[in-house]
Chains A and B, each alone.
Chain A
Amino acid sequence: MSAAGVGPAPRRGWRSAATWVGAAIVGAVLFCAVFAPLLVPHDPFAQDLNNRLATPFWMDEGHDPAHLLGTDGLGRDYLSRLIYGARISMMIGVLTVVTSGLIGITLGVLGGFAGGRVDDAVLFAITCRLSIPVVLVALAVVGLLGSSLILVVLTLGLLLWDRFAVVARSTTMQVRNLDFVAAAWCAGCSRFHILLREVLPNIASHLVVVATLEMALAILLEAALSFLGLGVPPPLPSWGLMIAEAKEYMFFSPWVIVIPGVALFVLVLGINLLGDGLRDLFGTETET
């Protein structure tokens, strides 16, 4: 991958366009998540059994002008549920990354900085974590303890720290032998100070790239868990749960699964585009 970063100009242009598209998508979804109560045309939880499965705007037959994206099997406004669903996906994504980042970065930096026995232990922890089947264990935990948003966040946070640890560890190893760290040692700085003020800022760009990848993964996993009935509990409008609820109608009205699925796909694609762009911007070569 040595020559990959020095592409000709057109590639750069394409890349930065892709990054802006990603940033725009993530920004738009974040906006929807934050201002959901102000944006929704209807109450996302209000049922209207006389107006079930109204079709979205692009279909002529059975479309109700009051519901732009139609209604679900219980007559709830699909657009409103989709906008509230952005809240759940973003919350899951951000909170999971914070939890897993704390665990992974702490372990990785400790292992990379201390080396020796400590590093062996960290490597062992990473190996153990990788051999645990994530989806299965997450399903089992939620199944045993009952489904709730906070439990999904904690479970995914405790499971998705491996990449943070791997990257933090290898980058810390590179940084720890550099001159400015040696200078800090000579200046009599404490170990804690060096880790926090010298090492961490210098590996942060790599960690931001990992954070985007993990956020995308956490959002996809939450949707899968909710789809299987062991994630976010109804009637919360998680996009995965919307797909699960729409499954029984999908053969006659395919749009009921298309809409939340496309939303999920576009958001995850946006996060990944943004992550790729940041990777180019920082010039990091974090291979995943």
Chain B
Amino acid sequence: MLRFLVRRLIVALLVAATVVTLAFMLTRLSGDLAISIAGANATQQDVEQVRRAYGLDRPLVVQFFDWVGRAALGDFGQSYFFKQRVSELIAERMPVTVTLGLVGLAIALVVSLPLGIIAAVRENTAVDRLVQLVALIGQAMPSFWLGLILMVTLGLRLGWLPISGTGSWEHYVMPGIVLAFSAIPALTRLTRSGMIQALASDYIRTARAKGLSRASILLKHALRNAAIPVVAIAAVQLGFMLGGSIVIESVFALHGVGFLAWESIGKNDFPVVQAVVLVLAVIYIGLTMLADLMNAVLDPRLRSA
């Protein structure tokens, strides 16, 4: 177990190092940063001044290690546009994104677990096909468009939910539903196939032979085994959701990290963009590691891998 842990940690660190390098290179793509920051009407003199002020006149390698060193300590520098520390900005906006992600994941689980179980129990019936159709529809739904449609219907026509902003818990319902849509197909399919496999196994036959109730067999015996991969994937899905919330945050004007990144991209605010990419990637790496660990703890067979 310890060897597994150490190996996993080393890989995670290497991945993080690679992503850090890529995040740095990403913002140097445009060529000369100083020209972009100074703006279209800047004179040669302005550009030179910007270059010195932001330390862009130093060799690239020096800039890289300077940035990495500071980032490791949680210092992502100063935002060009907001005139505030990037770390403060992200800390301010993070709760909104995390809340949205958790609400989305909760809705996705509440929908996909029962759907997957029903589909598995009624395998190859009309119910099963209906569930698969729901999964297909979820997969094909453009999330930003679903958001707009919900705003028009639930928000404007029916007046049930607020259209945008972050004032109360109600503001998270619509974006949560939209975000959940992206995770429902995968989670439903995984629950279904896990349950089908579990229901066909010997210990279920034993449980039936013992005369246990249907509910007890399904929920206690089958679901526990089917849930292992679902729990692991749910953690990974949360990572994807945090990364994908940028679209939904912009649709609903939720001022989370995604919205911040979108604003910053439009304003050429590179330190913020770099930092958000990095933070989201590190969260994702952490979550996948958590998923692997959960798998290993729940299923001893995987530890030797």
Query: A-side interface residues toward B, CB under 8 Å?
Result: 1-4, 7-8, 11, 14, 124, 127-128, 130-137, 139-141, 143-145, 216, 220, 223-224, 227-230, 240, 243, 247, 250-251, 254, 257-258, 261, 264-266, 268-269, 272-273, 276, 287-288
A4-B196 contact given A128-B19, A132-B19, A272-B140, CB 8 Å threshold: yes
Chain A to chain B contacts (Cβ below 8 Å), 21 pairs: A7-B124, A8-B124, A128-B15, A133-B246, A133-B277, A133-B284, A134-B243, A135-B243, A136-B243, A136-B261, A139-B246, A139-B261, A140-B27, A140-B273, A143-B266, A144-B268, A261-B145, A261-B148, A264-B145, A265-B142, A269-B140
Docked CA distance A214–B289 (Å): 25
> What sequence of 0s and 1s flags, for each residue 120-144 of chain B, a beta carbon within 8 Å of any chain A beta carbon?
0000100001000000110111111
Docked CA distance A287–B268 (Å): 40
User: What residues on B are CB-neighbors of A143 within 8 Å?
Assistant: 265-266, 268, 273
Query: B-side interface residues toward A, CB under 8 Å?
Result: 11, 14-16, 18-19, 22, 26-27, 29-30, 36, 124, 129, 136-137, 139-145, 148-149, 151-152, 156, 186, 193, 196-197, 200, 242-244, 246-247, 250, 258, 261-262, 265-266, 268, 273, 276-277, 280-281, 284-285, 288
A124-B11 contact given A224-B142, A261-B145, CB 8 Å threshold: yes
Docked CA distance A131–B268 (Å): 23
New A-B contacts (10) at CB < 8 Å, excluding given A3-B200, A251-B156 = A1-B196, A128-B18, A130-B288, A131-B288, A139-B265, A220-B142, A227-B247, A257-B145, A265-B141, A273-B136
Docked CA distance A272–B186 (Å): 13
Docked CA distance A2–B11 (Å): 33
Determine chain A's interface SS by DSSP, over half rule. helix
Contact (Cβ within 8 A) B136 A136: no
The residue from A4, A141, A220, A254 contacting B193, defined by CB atoms under 8 A apart: A4
Docked CA distance A127–B285 (Å): 9
User: What residues on A are CB-neighbors of B193 within 8 Å?
Assistant: 1, 4, 287
Determine chain B's interface SS by DSSP, over half rule. helix
Contact (Cβ within 8 A) A1 B197: yes
Chain A residue at minimal CB-CB distance from B146: A261
User: What residues on B are CB-neighbors of A7 within 8 Å?
Assistant: 124
User: What residues on B are CB-neighbors of A136 within 8 Å?
Assistant: 243, 246, 258, 261, 276-277, 280
Contact (Cβ within 8 A) B247 A224: yes
Contact (Cβ within 8 A) B145 A141: no
Closest CB in chain B relative to A3 CB, distance in Å: 7
Contact (Cβ within 8 A) A261 B265: no
User: What residues on A are CB-neighbors of B22 within 8 Å?
Assistant: 128, 132
Docked CA distance A145–B36 (Å): 11
User: What residues on B are CB-neighbors of A2 within 8 Å?
Assistant: 197, 200
Contact (Cβ within 8 A) A144 B29: yes
A261-B142 contact given A11-B124, A144-B30, A250-B152, CB 8 Å threshold: yes
Docked CA distance A264–B145 (Å): 10
User: What residues on A are CB-neighbors of B27 within 8 Å?
Assistant: 140, 144
Closest CB in chain B relative to A252 CB, distance in Å: 10
**Of B15, B142, B266, most A-chain CB atoms within 10 Å:** B142
The residue from B14, B124, B152, B244 contacting A135, defined by CB atoms under 8 A apart: B244
User: What residues on A are CB-neighbors of B36 within 8 Å?
Assistant: 144
User: What residues on A are CB-neighbors of B266 within 8 Å?
Assistant: 143, 229
Docked CA distance A2–B197 (Å): 8
Contact (Cβ within 8 A) A216 B140: yes
Chain B residue at minimal CB-CB distance from A244: B144
**Of A216, A265, A276, most B-chain CB atoms within 10 Å:** A265
Docked CA distance A1–B152 (Å): 40
User: What residues on A are CB-neighbors of B29 within 8 Å?
Assistant: 141, 144-145
Docked CA distance A266–B276 (Å): 34
User: What residues on B are CB-neighbors of A276 within 8 Å?
Assistant: 136
Closest CB in chain B relative to A63 CB, distance in Å: 20
Contact (Cβ within 8 A) B246 A124: no
Closest CB in chain A relative to B136 CB, distance in Å: 6
Closest CB in chain A relative to B179 CB, distance in Å: 12
Docked CA distance A186–B129 (Å): 48
Docked CA distance A7–B149 (Å): 37
Contact (Cβ within 8 A) B140 A265: yes
Docked CA distance A287–B11 (Å): 24
Contact (Cβ within 8 A) A137 B277: yes
Chain B residue at minimal CB-CB distance from A268: B140
